[in-house]
Amino acid sequence: MAEAALPSSPTSAHKHARRWIRHALARYDEFTVSIVSSDEGRALNRDYRHKDYATNVLTFDYAQEPMVLADLVLCAPVVESEARALGKPLAEHYAHLIVHGTLHAQGWDHETSEADAEAMEARESEILCGLGLEDPYQHSDR
């Protein structure tokens, strides 16, 4: 598999994020991607999900019709820590989480049932492999 190069500048990071989102979309939609600190990630997760810890990605979807409007918020320290723990390149983990959040914004949900989780994971794998990245669930027991 090709390894995703870590974006070297804000312009490069923006280009990569747009590509990852575009591959996960069924049609044209509008997204904002923010990278935040642990404190901000924790506050957002606490205030909106009532879970008092910083999580890797939060999806705030405002509309699904006529187009998806959403904000994706990624917590940099959590993403970096997870990438290290998984032995994955940082850019590849960001790609996975951006695809994951983009699917959530389109109504995919892995917390509703085992079948929904399997369907979402399969779609994530399909998208990431289409980007030339490794299947994040290939060696995972979820």
Summarised one tens digit per residue, pLDDT across range 52-94 is 999 999 999 999 888 889 999 999 999 999 999 999 999 999 9
Which class for 43: exposed (0-12), middle (13-18), buried (19 or more C-beta within 10 A)?
A: middle
The highest-level CATH class for domain 10-130 is alpha beta
Range in 16-20, 94-98, 100-104 with the lowest mean pLDDT: 16-20
Residue that wins the pLDDT comparison between 84 and 21? 84
Asked if the model's pLDDT at residue 135 lies above 90, the reply is yes
What percentage of the chain's residues is helix, strand, coil (to nearest 5)? 50, 15, 35
Confidence at 6, pLDDT banded by 50, 70, 90: very low
Structure tokens at 113: 């049932």
What distance in Å separates the CA atoms of residue 60 and residue 135, rounded to the nearest whole number? 25
**Contacts with 101 (C-beta within 8 Å, 6 or more apart), sequence order:** 57, 58, 59, 70, 72, 74
User: Does 27 score more than 60 pLDDT?
Assistant: yes
Phi, psi of 76 (to 5 degrees): -55, -50
pLDDT (0 to 100) of residue 140: 53
Is 61:68 a contact under the CB 8 Å cutoff?
yes
- Residue 18 has what pLDDT? 77
Mean pLDDT on 23-43: 86
